[in-house]
Structure 1
Amino acid sequence: MSIITLSNSIIIAQIKTLGAELCSLKDNTKRDYIWEGNPAFWGKHSPVLFPIVGTLKNNVFYHNDTEYTLSRHGFARDMEFQLVEKTDNSATFSLQSNSETLKNYPFKFELQIQYILIGTTLELTYRVINKDNTDIPFSIGAHPAFALPSNFEEYSLVFEEVEPLEYTLLENDLVSKQTEKIKTNSNTVPLTYELFERDALIFKTLKSNSLTIVEKENPILKVRFEDFPNLGIWTKVGAPFICIEPWFGYSDTTENTGNLFEKEGIIVLKTDTTFQAKFSIEIL
């Protein structure tokens, strides 16, 4: 594993070749907006979730009468990517299917992750290329954790739109039929650990295309995710970070059949075609 550094005159980003994982994003004040990855709380920074988001029922799926095992959030985050293109302010990483991935996910693909610095913004683009002779099913998502060095309850999230903030609850890591609404009369949600006592908040149908993190009434960071239909928000109770997670798809439902092609939220990509989606992180 190595660490690739990107910079312009305003911000610096660092990305690990392991998982093509963003591990640092600093401005000229040297403040790092990405969680340090302290394993006492959570040992990741910003993993990519592929070829699934969340958890499969019993961690398995079936294809052509064969059972396959995929662990939570898939394998991409734990694999070494190849750096295929690099400039001062951009880098593109690639992961290709191989004999190891085919044991757990029997489809041929290439996953590219591109990082570009534009002013005070880091733009991330995901590309999935179907290299198989059949359709391939997948989910993909981001999991960036943003460091909150002050008291957790001194932060709030501001949604782009004023809307009913209805989220779906997890049940034993699977998506349940139970939903709840965040109690607010505006688009601002003060952060409390109580919100996350039952794990992540899963939003399936937000109108908002961005979220802003506010620290002591000062906006510090904006995440834009207009390409992504689903969003997760998560922290561990007691941890000094918040994850804002743009997703295509989410965990299996409790009624899931084990057929990836029938999975709620799944993308089915035709042969010789490319899927692309991007999101961005802006330091304010």
Structure 2
Amino acid sequence: MNTTISNSSLKASIKQAGAELFSITDHQNNEYIWEGNPAFWAKHSPVLFPIVGTLKNNTYTISGKEYQLPRHGFARDMEFELIAQTENSAVFSLQSNTETLQKYPFEFELQLIYTLEEKELTIGYKVINKGNHPLPFSIGAHPAIALPGAFEKYSFKFEKEELLKYNLLENDLISDRTEVLEKTANVVHLRYKLFENDALVFKTLASNSITILENNIPYVKVHFKDFPSLGIWTKEQAPFVCIEPWFGYSDTAGNSGDLFQKEGIVVLEANQTFDSKFSIQILQ
């Protein structure tokens, strides 16, 4: 089941499965979200919760007891409930249940709030700790921006002048190896070779946004002021690129396994609420 919201400039469509955004179109019917062709990647823009990335051995511990979670957690594969809708907004909810408690022993509600304003879609995340104990979690976005032209015609412009140092992944875990993106006037030219070791993982960034340029003309801008970390990813020859704002990232090789001690984890106190948001702005 799908939900569509719209305004005078854009239309956005969201699946109830995973509350996953799968389309942003303008009035010329230009599509800005990856179509989900499984030959490359069958997703569009999944939510990553209650972990981002991969756990060492897909395992973590709480009070010495072992649990298992798949890469990026389980929320993206679960059915959300549509709890509110207007012409230009929609709110989806996932609540802990017997299935989630077996692999993640915490009571929670996760809401995804989609709002269209002019040529911008804002995606809000609300995590509510419904239990009586602290709740450790990571949350992240994974929107795949469609690139209709040749990949090499696109580039990134980072908001701020900074050293673009990123960590490399090894066996899906964060390694100590780092590299620096080459740039000219804050612009990084895209090429598939950048992603030969999987995603580029920026533990911290000064920039609060990235603009995708098509033939040096602004195309799409992703704003992520609330998020401390960022992943950038694509697959060989795929006509999309993912700009992924994150709270948290994959385990490091030396991680203890204790979820409360995991690098980048957010700990939400009992009966408290966490809010964050990012947005996708169409510039054409």
Q: Same fold (TM over 0.5)?
A: yes
Q: Give the gaps of 5 or more residues in structure 1.
A: none
Within 2, Cα distance between the matches of 1:237 and 1:180? 20
Q: Is 2:72 the counterpart of 1:73?
A: yes
TM-superposition CA deviations, 1:181-213 (whole Å, max 9, x none) = 011232100000000000000111211000001
Within 5 A, what are the aligned runs for 1:208-219? Answer: 208-219=207-218
**Cα distance in 2 for residues equivalent to 1:277 and 1:208:** 17
Match of 2:257?
A: 258
State the partner residue of 1:149: 148
- Measure the CA separation in 1 of the matches of 2:100 and 2:23: 28
Matches within 5 A, 1:110-149: 110-149=109-148
User: Deviation at 1:233?
Assistant: 0.2
CA distance in 2, matches of 1:195, 1:149: 19
Aligned pairs for 1:103-252 (under 5 A) are: 103-252=102-251
Question: Is the 2:183–2:189 Cα contact (8 Å) retained in structure 1?
Answer: no
Residue 100 of structure 2: SS of its match in structure 1?
Answer: helix
Q: Which residue of 2 aligns with 1:91?
A: 90
Structural RMSD (CA): 0.6
**Identity of aligned pairs, percent?**
63
Q: Which runs of 5+ in 2 are unaligned?
A: none
Q: Which residue of 2 aligns with 1:27?
A: 26
Q: Partners in 2 of 1:210 and 1:185 — Cα distance? A: 17
Other-structure match for 1:280: 279
Aligned-pair CA distance for 1:29: 1.2
| Secondary structure of the corresponding residue to residue 194 of structure 1 | helix
CA distance in 2, matches of 1:140, 1:243: 16
Deviation for aligned residue 1:238: 1.1
1:65 Cα deviation (Å)? Answer: 2.6
What is the rounded CA distance, in whole Å, between the counterparts of 1:248 and 1:63 in structure 2? 20
Q: Provide the C-alpha distance between the structure 2 equivalents of 1:185 and 1:39, rounded to a whole number of angstroms.
A: 34
3-state SS of 1:254 partner: coil
Aligned residue type for 2:168: L
SS of the aligned residue for 2:101 comes to helix
Moved over 3 A (4+): none
The residue type paired with residue 259 of structure 1 is D
Q: Could you tell me how far apart the structure 2 residues matched to 1:34 and 1:145 are?
A: 6
- In the TM superposition, residue 25 of structure 1 has moved relative to its aligned partner by 0.2
> Distance between the aligned counterparts of 1:139 and 1:60, measured in 2?
15
TM-score if structure 1 supplies the norm length? 0.99
Matched residue of 1:271: which SS? coil
> CA offset at residue 229 of structure 1?
0.2
Measured in 2, the distance between the counterparts of 1:280 and 1:40 equals 27
When the two structures are aligned, how many residues end up with a matched partner? Answer: 283
Report the residue type matching 1:37 in the other structure. G
Contact conserved, 2:228 with 2:246, CA < 8 A, in 1?
yes
Displacement of 1:162: 1.5
Distance 1:147 1:65 in 2: 43
Structure 1 counterpart of 2:135, which letter? I
Aligned residue for 1:271?
270
